Amino acid sequence: MDSSQGSSYPRTSPLRSEWETMNPILGEYFSMSVPEQFYSIEREREYLKDLALCDLSAFPKIGIKGDGATEWLEQQEIKIPKGIYQHLALPNNGLVVRLDHHEYFLEEGFEGTTVKRLSGVVGEETGRVFYFNRQDASLLLCGNRALDVLQQSCSFDFSGDGSNLTMTQVAGVSCMVLPMTDGFAPGFRIWLIPSYAIYLWRVLFEIVRDCNGHAVGMGSVRDFT
């Protein structure tokens, strides 16, 4: 599957060296080669419901900040979260998170074009709006037992009903963690700097495998969204 609207040059996942040893079927999303499937779609659907880990680093991400950021995003017809660490959906399963009064994190979804569109026009603003590409590694920890994995690797208690982004540490690594409760199964989106991505993947994947879960491809996640 090719969802390459978000970039015109080849991109490499920071986790490539980890999942390529498992010989997945590869797909391309936003000019990044990532696993489409490790197993059959049917088997991966069962993992997604129970316990699965997926590399979603292919989704383009940007940051928008500055005194004029909120007004500018509203002018671009982006719905703005009211509170800090709250999030709202972008078209095609993307999202926008408010990180501060004048700072936002936006990530594209499957077939989305919002990040590309904003990247193309934000340069027209000067002084009060600042744009920067974000290269965060992005993971999905998904399934009815995903919380059990976080409880083994993170001191923050995610067992409540909260749906806001949390800045915390997972296995000692600073991360942004966002509970996802409105999808096909409960789960958590995790973002972190790429230099720690392999270490965190190894820690989480070891726990996932010990609990009889497995890695899944973006193709299976896409089919469930």
What are 100-157's pLDDT values in tens digits? 999 999 999 999 999 999 988 876 555 689 989 999 999 999 999 999 999 999 999 9
* DSSP string over 91-153: GGGEEEEEEETTEEEEE--TT--HHHHHHHHGGG--SS-EEEEE--EEEEEESTTHHHHHHHH
In this structure, which topology does domain 61-134 adopt according to CATH? Alpha-Beta Plaits (3.30.70)
CATH entry 3.40.50.1860 includes domain 2-8+23-57+136-224? no
Confidence of residue 5 (pLDDT cuts 50, 70, 90): very low
pLDDT of 123: 62
pTM for the whole thing? 0.93
Given a cut of 50, is residue 94 above it in pLDDT?
A: yes
pLDDT, greater one: 4 or 68: 68
- Domain locations in the chain? 2-8+23-57+136-224, 61-134
pLDDT at 200 over 50: yes
Across the chain, mean pLDDT equals 92
